[in-house]
Structure 1
Amino acid sequence: MKKGILVLSLLMLTLSCGEYQKLLKSDETAAKYSTAEELYNEGKEEDSNKKLRKSLRLLEQIEPQFRGKPQGQRIVFLLADTYYLLGDYYLSPFQFERFLQLYPDSEKAEEAVYKRAASFYYRSPRYNLDQTDTHKAIEELQVYLNKYPDGEFVAPANEMATELRIKLEKKAYEIAKQYHHTEYYKAAIASFNNFIADYPGSPFREAAYYYRFDSAYKLAINSFQVLMEDRLKEAREFYNSYKKYYPEGEYIPQLEESLSDIDKRLQNF
């Protein structure tokens, strides 16, 4: 019984594949369109890349033949969305942009703007790699949020933009921290100054204040005598800045220990 069901299933699958291949080679554009949409809907509902890829092949074939026709708008959108659903985030933004140029007043325009931006979001790499796509994603998400402030996709767009901004903050913070750890203290101080100015609400802000102080402290105590006094005073100012914003911060014990050494050294001047 089980063998019979298996054989029947395989036979139906073979026939189905054969019919699909036959359809691909035919000139039946109407049948290709209806099959492509059916496969798209099933693939989207079932999360089936196989069905989506089959739909894509048909859509790519018939799209030129439907340009200027009523079905053209639907086909161009399905083509873009199928790339998106398949995770081809290099072709999907191009296809969504093309859709928006051809049909700017479409009821699908908002979704196209959002998914174009989301495509760049999914292309954004780890924080320690080149962040060109991250900047582009933030820019495109902001375009969507400005154009559709009450739109359907506002919540996920805001979440994506926030995540990407934190990624950029982390990259800037880690660069500054790397200067500190490799004992390029002047570069570290400059980088932390820029970070604090550029990212006022960052979750890395307190750590940036601490490492800026620690960089200045270590630069000072390793300086020539003629430079040490001014550098110790600058480190003390950075200590005051940290205490101002984080009076009960997690780095207080390390700061107090270093400050005690700074005060003792300043007595020599």
Structure 2
Amino acid sequence: MKNLFYILITFLVLSSCSEYQKALKSEDIAVKFKKGEELYNAGKYSKANKLFEQIIPSYRGKPQAEKLMYLNANASYEMEDYYVSSYHFERFVSAYPTSEKIEEATFKSAKSYYKLSPAYSKDQSETITAIEKLQEFVNIFPESEDLSEANQLVKELVFKLEKKAFEIAKQYNHISDFKASMASFDTFIIDFPGAQLREDALYYRFDSAYQLAMKSVEYKKKDRLETAKKYYMSFKQGYANSQYLEKATDKLNDIEEELENYSTKS
């Protein structure tokens, strides 16, 4: 019985492959469409797409074209070929703005861009595009069932931009380029007003100002000490219970001592 079962399975597989090969070679676009749809429904997206790609030009302008373009785009999406799926879903949305699949296609197009977003340490051009595409979806379909997920995806992408900007500014601090670090953290605080890393940014901005002041030449030191003190007050005002508060307060004491010296000299 086991041998019979294996023989039957082998026969079915070979038969299926034979039908697929025949469809590939066939000049009948209806045959290709039918076989492609069967393969799509069976989860064999790669094979289905090979058939779909052959016949899309022939169906252009025909009633079946809408379904064909959707299946082609979604097969690419299911295959995790997100460059291709983003492109095909965008074409679908442009070609069939009144389709019942328009909301789903718009979301999956945007989500394809999300999937293409790289690690925060790399170039973030695709992340910015993904945010724009997801925001467009949210604006167009504010009542969508996918709204919560779309907003969460935007939040994740924005954090990547935030993390990249923060790490650049922090790196300047680590290599003792304190002016560049302060300027970068100033920009960070403006660009990301609700940042998850805002506490860290305010502390490291203060630390950079402190380091710059303490290592300054004499004629610049007083002004820089006062700037550092101002940054400390800004940090403490926002995060009175910060994990960094003890270290920051120790540095403030150094600043106060230095400023007291200037008062004594006066």
Q: Same fold (TM over 0.5)?
A: yes
Shift of 1:28: 3.0
Q: Corresponding residue for 1:42?
A: 42
Q: Any conservation in 1 of the 2:23–2:35 contact (CA below 8 Å)?
A: no
Q: Corresponding residue for 2:21?
A: 21
SS of 1:155's equivalent in the other structure is helix
CA deviations 1:59-90 (Å, max 9, x no partner) are: 11222222221111100111111111111111
SS of 2:261's equivalent in the other structure is coil
CA deviations 1:187-237 (Å, max 9, x no partner) are: 000111111111111110000000000000000111111111111111111
What CA distance in whole angstroms lies between the structure 1 residues aligned with 2:192 and 2:51? 48
Return the match for 1:106 from 99, 118, 134: 99
What CA distance in whole angstroms lies between the structure 2 residues aligned with 1:14 and 1:250? 66
Return the match for 1:59 from 52, 57, 65: 52
CA deviations 1:22-71 (Å, max 9, x no partner) are: 1211123223222212221221xxxxxxx111110111122222222111
Q: Corresponding residue for 1:143?
A: 136
SS of 1:91's equivalent in the other structure is helix
Q: Is 1:32 aligned to 2:32, yes or no?
A: yes
SS of 1:59's equivalent in the other structure is helix
What CA distance in whole angstroms lies between the structure 1 residues aligned with 2:240 and 2:93? 52
Q: Corresponding residue for 2:115?
A: 122
Q: Is 1:6 aligned to 2:9, yes or no?
A: no
Shift of 1:93: 1.7
Moved more, 207-216 or 23-32: 23-32
Shift of 1:9: 1.3
Give structure 1 stretches of 5+ with no counterpart: 44-50
Q: Any conservation in 1 of the 2:93–2:105 contact (CA below 8 Å)?
A: yes
Q: Corresponding residue for 1:48?
A: none
What CA distance in whole angstroms lies between the structure 2 residues aligned with 1:234 and 1:29? 74
Moved more, 185-194 or 77-86: 77-86
Q: Is 1:74 aligned to 2:70, yes or no?
A: no
Give structure 2 stretches of 5+ with no counterpart: none
Q: Which runs of 4+ in 1 moved over 6 A?
A: none
Residue identity in the other structure for 1:32: K
What CA distance in whole angstroms lies between the structure 2 residues aligned with 1:37 and 1:22? 15
What CA distance in whole angstroms lies between the structure 1 residues aligned with 2:162 and 2:140? 26
Residue identity in the other structure for 1:188: S
CA RMSD of aligned residues (A): 1.2
What CA distance in whole angstroms lies between the structure 1 residues aligned with 2:54 and 2:146? 31
Residue identity in the other structure for 2:119: R
SS of 1:32's equivalent in the other structure is helix
What CA distance in whole angstroms lies between the structure 2 residues aligned with 1:14 and 1:243? 72
What CA distance in whole angstroms lies between the structure 2 residues aligned with 1:152 and 1:24? 38
